[in-house]
Structure 1
Amino acid sequence: MPADLVQRLYTAPPEGFVGARTEAVAAARAAGDEATARQLAKLRKPTVAAWLVNLLAIRRPELVADLVELAAELRAAQRDLRGPRLRELSAQRRGTVAALVAEARALGVEADPRLGAGKLPLAEVEATLQAALADVEVAEQVRSGRLVRAASYAGFGEVPRPQLRLVTGGAEVLLPEPAASGPTATRTAGGVSGQRGAGSPAEQAATRKATAREEAAEEAAARRAAAERSELRRTLARELTGARTRQRRAESELERATAAERAAGSALSEAEAALAEAERRRAAAEQEVSRRKLARKSAERDLAAARRRTGDVQAAVEALDAE
C-alpha cells in the first residue's frame, strides 16, 4: 500500500476521510490492485485529536523528534534518580508539550478553517503527547503519523496505552491496556486477537469497562493538563512580574545614566569654554607683558641718556666755576 497515499488520508480533515478512502479503494480496484484495495478498505477513520497528532508528526517532524529525545532524557533522569535534572526536564516537558499543542492548533485551523481553534480537542492532543513522553513505544507510534485514536496516561512514568490504535501497512494494531481484569488484547501481524470470542456478553462487558477506563483516564489527563497549564500560567505570571520589575529598574537606571551623561557633557562644554577664555586671556597677558618689557627697556635707555646728559652739564658748570 503506497505510504504517501496513507499519509494523505491521515492528514486530511477527518470528515473527508471516508470519501477519500472510498475513492482510493475504487482507484486501486480499477488498476487491478485488489490487495491494495483490501488494505485501504481496512483503514479506520481517525478522531480529530489523532488527526491533529498526525499533522504534527508529518508536517512538523522535527518538533516530534524533539519530544522523543526529551522523553529519553526524562526516562534516563528517572532511572538514575537525578532530582535536579529531572525537575529541569519536567519544566522543559511542560513547555515542549504546550508548544506542540499550540502548533497542532495552528495546523488544524490551517487545514480546516471551519473547525476553529475553540472546537479542537486540544486536551486529548496534550494527553497523547504526555503519553508519548511516558513510553518510548507510544512515542514512536505518535512519530509514525498514523494514529487512529488519541492516547492518555495515568501518570508520568506509567505505561500509557489505553486502546491506542496504530495503522501499520494495511493492518490496524490495538495496543493493550495495563494489566487489569477482563480480556486482554495482543498485537498480531494482521490485527488483534483476544482471549474470548468477539461479540460474547463477557467481551461486550469488557469493552464497556475498557471504554469507561479510557474515558476516566482522558478526564484525568484533561484535569492534569489544566492543572499544569494553571501552574505554567502562574509561573509565567511570576516571571512576567519579575521581568517587568527588572525592566522598570533598567529604564530608571538608563534615565539616570542619560541625565548624568548630559550633565557631564554640559560640564565639559563649560570647562572647554572656560579653558578657551583662559587661553585667550593668557595670550592677551603675554602680549601685554611683551609691550611692558619693551616700554621698560625704552625707559632704561632714556634714563641712561638723561644721566649722561646730566653728567655732561654738571661737568660744564664745574669747569665754568673754576675759571
Structure 2
Amino acid sequence: MTDVRDGTEVIRRLYEEPPEGFVATRAAAVEEARRGGDRETAKRLAALKKPTVAAWMVNLLALKRPELIGELVELATALRAAQRDLQGEQLRELSNQRRQFVSALVAAARKLAVAAGVPTGKLPLAEVEATLTAALAEPEIAEQVRTGRLIRAATYAGFGEVPRPRLRLVTGDADQDDLAEPGEPEEPDEQPESEVPRISARERAAAEQRRRERERKRRELDRELSVAMAAERRADDQLERAEAAERDAGHLVEDLDAELAELERRRTEAVADVARRKLARRTAERESAAARRRVGDVQAALDDLAAD
C-alpha cells in the first residue's frame, strides 16, 4: 500500500507518470487517504487535475531536470532586463541563446517522455516548445513551469489571473446567542440594598414563577441547540459528499476533454498520414502502369524478332 502521508510524494508521482494512468492513481490515493481518516489530504489529492501530454512533458522536465528549468528562468530574467535596457547586441545574442536553449529543452523532454514509455510519434513537441518559449516571456508561466504541475500547454497569452480565494471574516465578538436582541432592554443594575423596596409574597411568587419559566425555556433551547448542531453536522457531511461528487464529475469532464483533444490531435495526424499514403499509392499506380506498358513494348519487340 502506498504511504500517502501529506500527499507530496503521490502528487509528484502523479505528474511524473504518463497521463493515461493519472485518473486511476489519483482515485487510489484519495481512497487510501480517506481510509486513513486524512480528509484534508484526500481533498487535496481529489482537487488535482489531469495534465495534457504536452503539459506532462514539461512537468517531467521540471521534476527530472530541475537544473534546466532553473537555467530557463535565469535566461528569461536576462532577456527581460535586456529588453528594458534596449541593449540591441545583447538582446540579439540572448535571443539566439533562447532559440538554442528551447530546442535543447524540447529534446530533453522528448528523451524523458520516450524513456517513460510514450512513443515519439505521440509526443506534441510543438506544444512543448510553445510552452517553454512562453515561460521565457512570462515570469508567471516560468514559475508555474518550475512547480512541475502544469495541466495545459501555454502560449504567450499566459495562464490568466489566478482567482483569489474568498475569505471569511472572523471577529472576536461573542456568539450571536450571547448577544441581546435589537431593542431588548438591558437588565437594570441592582439597587443598593437600602433602596430595595419591600416585596410582597405575591410578588415573590410571581418572580419565582418567572425564574422557573426562564429555566424551562433555557432547557428547551439547550435541547433544540443540541438537535440543531447534530443536524448541522449531518448537513456538513452531506455537503462534503456532494462537493466531492461534483468535483469528481468535474474531473471526469476535464479528463474527457483532455482525451478528446489528444484524440483530435491523433486524428489530424492520421488524416495527414492517409493523404501521404494516398499520394504514394497513386504514384505507385502510375509507376506500375508505366512498367506494364514497358513490359508490353518489350514483349512485342521480342515477338517481332521471333517472326523475322
Q: Which residue of 1 aligns with 2:16?
A: 11
Q: Which residue of 2 aligns with 1:188?
A: 164
How far off is 1:5 after superposition? 1.6
Matches within 5 A, 1:169-188: 175-176=160-161, 186-188=162-164
Between the two proteins, the alignment pairs up a number of residues equal to 164
Q: Which residue of 2 aligns with 1:140?
A: 143
CA distance in 2, matches of 1:12, 1:30: 24
Which one of the candidate residues 56, 76, 94 is aligned to 2:61? 56
Q: Which residue of 2 aligns with 1:79?
A: 84
What secondary structure, in the 3-state scheme, does the structure 1 residue paired with 2:50 have?
Answer: coil
What amino acid sits opposite 2:29 in the alignment?
A
What amino acid sits opposite 1:97 in the alignment?
V
How far off is 1:189 after superposition? 3.6
TM-score, length-normalised on structure 1? 0.49
What amino acid sits opposite 1:111 in the alignment?
A
How far off is 1:119 after superposition? 1.3
**CA RMSD, 1 decimal:** 2.0
Is 1:97 aligned with 2:73? Answer: no
Q: Which residue of 1 aligns with 2:153?
A: 150
Which one of the candidate residues 112, 127, 130 is aligned to 2:130? 127
Name the structure, 1 or 2, with higher relative contact order (CA <8 Å, separation 6+). Answer: 2
Q: Which residue of 2 aligns with 1:116?
A: 119
Conserved? CA contact 2:7–2:45, under 8 Å: no
How far off is 1:109 after superposition? 0.5
Conserved? CA contact 2:79–2:91, under 8 Å: yes
CA distance in 1, matches of 2:47, 2:146: 21
What amino acid sits opposite 1:17 in the alignment?
F
What amino acid sits opposite 1:28 in the alignment?
A
Matches within 5 A, 1:289-304: none
How far off is 1:188 after superposition? 1.9
CA distance in 2, matches of 1:84, 1:3: 44
Q: Which residue of 2 aligns with 1:265?
A: none
Structure 2 unaligned residues grouped into runs of 5+:
1-5, 167-256, 262-308
Q: Which residue of 1 aligns with 2:286?
A: none
* Residues 2-43 of structure 1, C-alpha deviations (whole Å, 9 max, x = no match): 322211111111000000001100110111101211221111
Structure 1 vs Structure 2: percent identity of aligned residues?
Answer: 60
Which 4+ residue blocks in structure 1 deviate beyond 3 angstroms? Answer: none
What amino acid sits opposite 2:77 in the alignment?
A
What secondary structure, in the 3-state scheme, does the structure 2 residue paired with 1:32 have?
Answer: coil
Structure 1 unaligned residues grouped into runs of 5+:
154-159, 165-174, 177-185, 191-210, 216-323
Conserved? CA contact 2:102–2:129, under 8 Å: yes
